[in-house]
Amino acid sequence: MTHILLNDVCVDFPIYNTTGRSLKNYLMQAATGGLMGSNEKGHVVVKALQNICLDLKEGDRLGVTGHNGAGKSTLLRVISGVYEPTGGSFEVKGKVTSLIDLSLGMDSEATGIENIFLRGALLGFNRRRLSAKVKEIVDFAGLGNFIEMPFRTYSTGMQMRLAFSIATVEQPEILVMDEWLTVGDADFQEKAQQRLDEIIKKTSILVIATHSPALVRQVCNRMIMLERGALITA
């Protein structure tokens, strides 16, 4: 049974070589949208998330809204296991696929084939199962013989096509997205949209950060709003 439970989750980012009363702190606060404060050691921190409580169960489709710097991406990274909370507790039951930072973990000097396994390992895919899906990934990305070339020789569109094909080759139980994806040229976008629609239909829990109220109404059955790292509506 898939489940996401966050209880008073906090994430603080330390800011070094500055003091709590400096102009630099004020500018940092304005730039990040987070609140400035200090931790138990007296270090200046940006409070990216503050006492977030969430309980998501099978069938939930959660839209996370808020202005830039409100903490949306930080929350998604906590759910994805990228960030460890500095306070509170969280529990995630179920296989999570994150469509945040699609190219994270890709090596520019490695070939496309090698990057399939690098990115797959980062996503927690079983290597044996991934080996059986290499042809499917390559065919979906439409890279042909380029798959044996270094990743740095790919156009940005080719890089994104490969990254998307890897990330979506297995059906996740929990899908985490930062805005709706548009990948590659028009032909690939249509194919990618069809795959994404199918994945969302089958996924147990969806969490998507977005600025679009229309998307929330179309896709989600729950919504929260963040402001300076704090939950203001649920």
- CA-based angle 163:167:169, to the nearest 5? 115
Rounded distance, CA 155 to CA 88, Å? 42
What pLDDT is recorded for position 123? 84
Contacts of 88 (CB under 8 A, 6+ apart): 6, 7, 8, 9, 10, 51, 52
Average pLDDT over residues 45-61: 94
Number of Cβ within 10 Å of residue 53's Cβ equals 12
Asked whether the predicted pLDDT for residue 154 surpasses 70, the reply is yes
* Paired tokens of 207: 């969490």
What pLDDT is recorded for position 4? 97
Model confidence, pTM: 0.83
* Residue with the larger pLDDT of the pair 140 and 233: 140
Average pLDDT over residues 211-223: 92
Number of Cβ within 10 Å of residue 224's Cβ equals 19
Are 183 and 191 contacting, i.e. CB atoms less than 8 angstroms apart?
A: no
Task: Please report, rounded to a whole number, the percentage of residues in the chain having pLDDT higher than 90.
Answer: 65
**In this structure, what is the dihedral angle of CA atoms 170, 146, 151, 158, given to the nearest 10 degrees?**
-70
pLDDT in tens, 57-103: 999 999 999 998 899 999 999 999 889 999 999 999 999 988 988 87
Rounded distance, CA 175 to CA 167, Å? 10
pLDDT in tens, 190-203: 899 899 999 999 99
* Residue with the larger pLDDT of the pair 219 and 123: 219
What pLDDT is recorded for position 69? 87
Asked whether the predicted pLDDT for residue 19 surpasses 80, the reply is no
Contacts of 91 (CB under 8 A, 6+ apart): 3, 4, 5
What pLDDT is recorded for position 7? 97
* Paired tokens of 225: 């709003």
